[in-house]
Amino acid sequence: MKYQWIKPAAVNPSIIKNLTEETGLHPIVMSILYNRFYRSAKEIETFLRADLDQLHDPFLFKEMQKAVERIIIALREGENILIYGDYDVDGVTGVSVLYDGLFKMGGKVSFFIPDRFEEGYGVSAEGIKKARNRGTSLMITVDCGITAVDEVAFASQSGIDTIICDHHEPGESLPAAVAVIDAKIKECPYPFKELAGCGVAFKLLQAIAEYLGTDPSFANQYLDLVAIGTSADIVTLTGENRVLVKHGLSMINENPRPGLFALMENCGMIGKELTVNKIVFVLAPRLNAVGRISNAKKAVHLLTTTSLQQGKNISKILEKENETRKNIDEVTFMEAQQLLDETIDLDKKRVLVIARENWHTGVIGIVASRLLEKMNRPTVLISIQDGVGKGSARSLPTFDIYEAFRKLDHLLINYGGHQYAAGLTISAENIPVLDDALNQIAEDDLVIEEMVPKLSIDAEVRFKDLDANFFNDLKAMAPHGPGNMRPVFVTSELCVFGNASIVGHNHLKLKFKQDDVVIDAIGYNLGDYLNQLKNARNILDCAYVLEETRWSGQTTIQMRIRDLMIG
């Protein structure tokens, strides 16, 4: 077993029976929802329906009124408006929403995505100088800016008003902007605190359209972009995020905009259902690649073009740069793994801090994520250049990496992010001190002996219970992601039906049989189990998720293996 299986909490059968009668849901799905704290028919109906009328009033943001009034003045006076965004997928989708939306409202609008290597992350003095040279009088930040106190002051001195549109944690003081739109600032009454940056940009566009008396659904034309940015940013897919992603995915699957069509065609995804999982692992890496290797403005052009041919041209560039990114990623991962093996004692380290000269800063976040997944420990990967380290951190739900950085800000030149992912800049001489300090903080939250990866099981089932009603109700739980992960099932006393084999790059392919029911199964990167299966006794247990596969016009159900218990 790769994981420690955490079985679901026992539920009183009479409660499930009553709720099943009230809702009409399959008992297995009902028990999953109950354990996920949807415990009344009304809560369950709201969750499953996820309609657009569940979105909150954008003017509940603390300073939304001030932001909208300033933007309306800029629109009416023909001012130069600059949308200033981050270079990740959340940033470029949020920039695309506001850039295209304000343009369609008649605005004189342009956008700026900083170069990762020249200007670095977030709002910078260099970026503001470029904005000033463009004649900008109003700058709207997207997915950045909440900690840019000095930079916003510099913008003001340069004759530029700023509106902050962000979702990250604020610092001790807020920038002196015209308005700050961030649900995480103190006393902000906005009820949903977990919007991605593109989600906040969407709410701003909603508010502007409402103020102008435009069609209330004007902003909805960008739900596809919001779905991509929200999925890629790995925020919780509950509440408003669930609504935004559900409807955005429907838009893409029914009629993708030209740039998305070209990107999906390039990935061989036309005719296949786009899911959150496919956004995260197929589309997002390609949209991210240009920001990691060159400049993310190409991604904005792709997402806003009305020309399919232009979309195809840009998609080819993204594909090429993604291949370059993957090669750099693999070399960096191998080097980081070697340093880990040679220099870090896993019996003592709760947090992994790995640093090396001249790693490509565009891929260290990806490699940190891979090491976190493999080692199940918070990981900080740092590239050192000219005595200064730039790092990316990825963490577990039990350890807030942003809060740890906040406690250690005296060691850092700069930092930002949230509890699961953060970035930092640090003097190279302080890296060993940071390593010791992070591990000291982690002593209270992380027990080394308990750092075996855990797999939460949602239900123990038999194949005969997985009927058509079950699958229909299970599908209604989508879209899946943090806060609403794809349910994991366990079935015991399984037999391998026929011969197991290896397909692709070490993927395990086989069929399982129970109660005269046979289901196809695939185990990605689980080919090492093949010999064990051949030598095992007949009966085994499997933890898996269920997914639909389409082949030659036929739709079938497949188990995607998460773990095996082989006797």
Give residue 534's pLDDT band: very low, low, confident or very high (50, 70, 90).
confident
Please tell me whether residues 441 and 512 are part of one structural domain: no
Please tell me whether residues 434 and 478 are part of one structural domain: no
Please give the average per-residue pLDDT across 323-341, as a whole number: 93
Choosing from 418, 450, 482, the residue where a domain stops is: 450
pLDDT recorded at residue 465: 94
pLDDT (tens digit per residue) in 117-129:
777 778 999 999 9
**Run of H or E including 514:** strand 507-514
Please tell me whether residues 76 and 171 are part of one structural domain: yes
DSSP 35-77: HTT--SHHHHHHHHH--GGGSPPGGGSTTHHHHHHHHHHHHHH
Please give the average per-residue pLDDT across 229-251, as a whole number: 96
pLDDT recorded at residue 497: 92
pLDDT recorded at residue 453: 81
Task: List the domain range (segments joined by +) for residue 406.
Answer: 344-450
Give residue 559's pLDDT band: very low, low, confident or very high (50, 70, 90).
very high
Give residue 450's pLDDT band: very low, low, confident or very high (50, 70, 90).
low
Cβ atoms within 10 Å of 42's Cβ, excluding its own: 11
Give domain status of residue 17, yes or no. Answer: no
Give residue 2's pLDDT band: very low, low, confident or very high (50, 70, 90).
confident
pLDDT recorded at residue 538: 64
Please tell me whether residues 481 and 535 are part of one structural domain: yes
Choosing from 450, 471, 494, the residue where a domain stops is: 450
Q: The domain that contains 213 carries what CATH number?
A: 3.90.1640.30
pLDDT recorded at residue 362: 85
pLDDT recorded at residue 537: 62
pLDDT recorded at residue 445: 82
Choosing from 450, 469, 496, the residue where a domain stops is: 450
Please tell me whether residues 425 and 523 are part of one structural domain: no
Which residues are registered as beta bridge partners of 84? 112, 141
Please tell me whether residues 206 and 150 are part of one structural domain: yes
Q: Token pair of 524, please?
A: 């990605």
**Strands 489-496 and 540-551, sheet pairing:** antiparallel
pLDDT (tens digit per residue) in 59-81:
999 999 999 999 999 999 999 99
For residue 294, pLDDT over 80 is answered with no
Q: How many domains does the chain have?
A: 3
Give domain status of residue 64, yes or no. Answer: yes
Return d(Cα 501, Cα 473) in angstroms, integer: 32
For residue 282, pLDDT over 90 is answered with yes
pLDDT (tens digit per residue) in 542-557:
999 999 887 766 778 9
pLDDT (tens digit per residue) in 266-281:
999 998 899 999 999 8
pTM here is 0.91
Give domain status of residue 107, yes or no. Answer: yes
Q: What are phi and psi of 150, to 5 degrees?
A: -70, -40
Higher pLDDT, 479 or 397: 479
Q: Identify whether the C-beta of residue 110 lies closer than 8 Å to the C-beta of residue 89.
A: no
Please tell me whether residues 424 and 489 are part of one structural domain: no
pLDDT recorded at residue 304: 98
pLDDT recorded at residue 138: 98
Q: The domain that contains 352 carries what CATH number?
A: 3.10.310.30
Please give the average per-residue pLDDT across 558-564, as a whole number: 96
pLDDT (tens digit per residue) in 365-382:
989 999 998 888 999 999
Please tell me whether residues 367 and 473 are part of one structural domain: no
Mean per-residue pLDDT of the chain = 94
pLDDT recorded at residue 171: 87
Please give the average per-residue pLDDT across 186-212, as a whole number: 97
Give residue 419's pLDDT band: very low, low, confident or very high (50, 70, 90).
confident
DSSP state of 321: H
Give domain status of residue 234, yes or no. Answer: no
For residue 483, pLDDT over 80 is answered with yes
For residue 536, pLDDT over 70 is answered with no
pLDDT recorded at residue 533: 85
Checking phi first, is residue 143 left (phi over 0); if not, alpha (psi -120 to 50) or beta? left
Q: Which residues of 334-365 are buried (b: 16+ CB within 10 A; e: fewer)?
A: eebbeebeeebeeeebbbbbbbbeebbbbbbb
Please give the average per-residue pLDDT across 478-502, as a whole number: 94
Please give the average per-residue pLDDT across 421-437, as a whole number: 95
For residue 512, pLDDT over 80 is answered with yes
Q: What is the share, in percent, of the chain residues with pLDDT greater than 90?
A: 83
pLDDT recorded at residue 426: 97
Please give the average per-residue pLDDT across 406-430, as a whole number: 92
Q: Token pair of 461, please?
A: 């089932």
Please tell me whether residues 73 and 170 are part of one structural domain: yes
